[in-house]
Chains A and B, each alone.
Chain A
Amino acid sequence: MAFILGIESSCDETAAAVVEDGRRVASSVVSSQTDVHGKYGGVVPELASREHLRAIVPVVREAMEQASVTWDNLAAVAVTAGPGLVGSLLVGITYAKAIASVRRLPLIGVNHIEGHIHAVLMEARGQVEFPALALVASGGHTHLFSVTGSLEYGLLGKTRDDAAGEAYDKVAKLLGFGYPGGPVLDQLAPFGDASALPLPLARMKGNALDFSFSGLKTAMLRWVESQDMQAEINARRDFLRAHPRPTLDEWLALTPVPARNAIAAFQRVVIEELLRRVEAVIADQDFRCVVISGGVACNRGLRSAAGRLPVPAFFPTPGLSTDNAAMIAAAAFPKLARGELSDLTLRAKANLTLA
């Protein structure tokens, strides 16, 4: 039995997790989703280094307690080294270094994006066959990688402007569903007719596997401007101010048919942008399966549409789709086995690349 403690602080979330043998999540604590602040005093929004600094100790303590492990049980400490906000990354890295140095444990720096891929590899428990194609789509990333059995990554494409999740959140805000409102659009999309509004697919110059969502976002803005729908948008904003978490029925009551159709059309185009590139790669090269992760992997429309792919598609459970530390610990197991360790010179790198 080997346990690795994973620490993640690359963006908004302070997270810690303990993973056993690269297969079992013994604990996974994400600051915004738990009451660690209430438990240990202090209530703050999750943002940037100062808030990570407040959260890191209680979050790691909670992860260790929930996993029922002590420092003596750990085989290594893994931490996100990038990409992300340097000030935020530094909090996790410094804390991980302190633990590694005091407890004489191996320190393993992990790329956040590689972590997202490993969330799926861990949960699929050996069902993922290689070479695999990995699509990582979240609020901050949209990347397409090839992954070999020895976990070598090749970058096939990435977004040149907005990330897929960012497009969702910005369009949701534009329509009055608040920010971040991507998941609301996913909920509402099945209630509209996607064919009612023609929206453009991106035309890529150069690498056809790169992504672009900025044009789609602008098309949605232009559509809203053409609709004389400010009253409707204001009604949703007002409702959201009074009721912070509307139910699906409440949103539907506030969303007339044209907006529902636009949401359905938007969702369809985002899914097409993602899956058409996956299909293009699979048609051209021999990939045995597709791994789809990152916050956008929670999208039900995408999950269901992925059924059309000619090879199996694997998604993480929702808790491991969005930012978490279990994926960081999971990615560290093969590195520990191969002796790919970091030392105390490990640096936060804002623009760390995976391939």
Chain B
Amino acid sequence: MNCRRFRTESEAETIALGAQLARHWRAPKVVLLIGNLGAGKTTLAKGIAEGLGAAERNEVSSPTFPLIHEYGDPVRVYHVDLYRLDTLAEVATLGLPEIFERDAVVLLEWAERFPQILPEARVEIRIGATAGESRELIVTELPEPLC
């Protein structure tokens, strides 16, 4: 089964789900977090970083402005946010291909806008707000067929 659906009812549940998913991942791994503003991408990243033992949930904040946050020493989680980048030339300056090869989990926000830079082997997590605090999450392992 390469496509799984989850439903969470609170921020705490989304964090717990992130931790649960991350425990099965082996670095190097590239994970896209896909969802609108306020969907809970950074919330899920908190759970993933915590699940991997790279940072506590309260240490994980939005990387929009700095573009990349690093967690763990040595770095076990890179949290990348391409929200404020508009062109492929700008993205190219970040040197992501090299980061993808490191012994780490790389979380990417707003990277689906730049499919050219994505490795074929990756996990895609789509997060949608259903109502209030509840969220639906669809986890797809690529390159197997889409659901």
Contacts and interface: CB of A to CB of B under 8 A. Distances in A.
A140 interface: yes
B116 interface: no
B50 to A, nearest CB: 13
Contacts of A162: 42, 61-62, 64
Contacts, number: 84
A170 B64 contact: yes
A50 B89 CA distance: 11
A309 interface: no
A165 interface: yes
Interface in A195-243: 206-207, 210, 214, 217-218, 221
A350 B37 contact: no
A166 interface: yes
A51 interface: yes
B94 A48 contact: yes
A85 interface: yes
Contact of B66 (A11, A45, A159, A160): A11
A125 to B, nearest CB: 30
Interface residues of A, number: 38
Given A162-B62, A214-B42, A350 B69 contact: yes
A180 B65 CA distance: 10
Choose among B43, B65, B71, B75 the residue with the greatest number of A CB atoms under 10 Å from its CB.
Answer: B65
Contacts of B83: 170
A221 B93 contact: no
Contacts of B95: 49, 87
Contacts of B42: 161-162, 214
B106 to A, nearest CB: 14
Nearest to A158: B61
Given A49-B93, A50-B93, A218 B37 contact: yes
Contacts of B90: 45, 47-48
Contact of A214 (B36, B38, B85): B38
A11 B58 contact: no
B93 A51 contact: yes
B3 interface: no
Nearest to A180: B84
Contact of B67 (A85, A165, A169, A207): A85
A214 B69 CA distance: 17
A11 B95 CA distance: 15
B112 interface: no
Contacts of A139: 64-65
Nearest to A174: B37
A42 B65 CA distance: 25
Interface in B67-103: 67-71, 75, 83-85, 90, 93-95
A125 B70 CA distance: 36
A210 B58 contact: yes
Contacts of A50: 93
Choose among A162, A174, A206, A210 the residue with the greatest number of B CB atoms under 10 Å from its CB.
Answer: A162
Contacts of B64: 139, 162-163, 166, 170
A272 B76 CA distance: 36
A140 B37 contact: no
Contacts of A169: 84
A139 to B, nearest CB: 4
B71 A140 contact: no
Contact of B68 (A158, A207, A221, A350): A350
Contacts of A165: 65
30 contacts: A10-B66, A11-B66, A47-B90, A48-B67, A48-B90, A48-B93, A51-B93, A83-B66, A86-B68, A87-B95, A139-B64, A139-B65, A159-B61, A159-B62, A160-B60, A161-B43, A161-B61, A163-B61, A163-B62, A163-B64, A166-B65, A169-B84, A170-B64, A214-B43, A217-B37, A221-B36, A221-B37, A350-B66, A350-B69, A351-B71
Interface of A: 10-11, 45, 47-51, 83-87, 138-140, 158-163, 165-166, 169-170, 174, 179-180, 206-207, 210, 214, 217-218, 221, 350-351
Shortest beta-carbon contacts, A-B, top 3: A218-B38, A48-B93, A140-B65
Given A48-B94, A139-B64, 10 more contacts: A50-B93, A140-B66, A159-B62, A161-B62, A169-B84, A170-B37, A179-B84, A214-B42, A218-B37, A350-B66
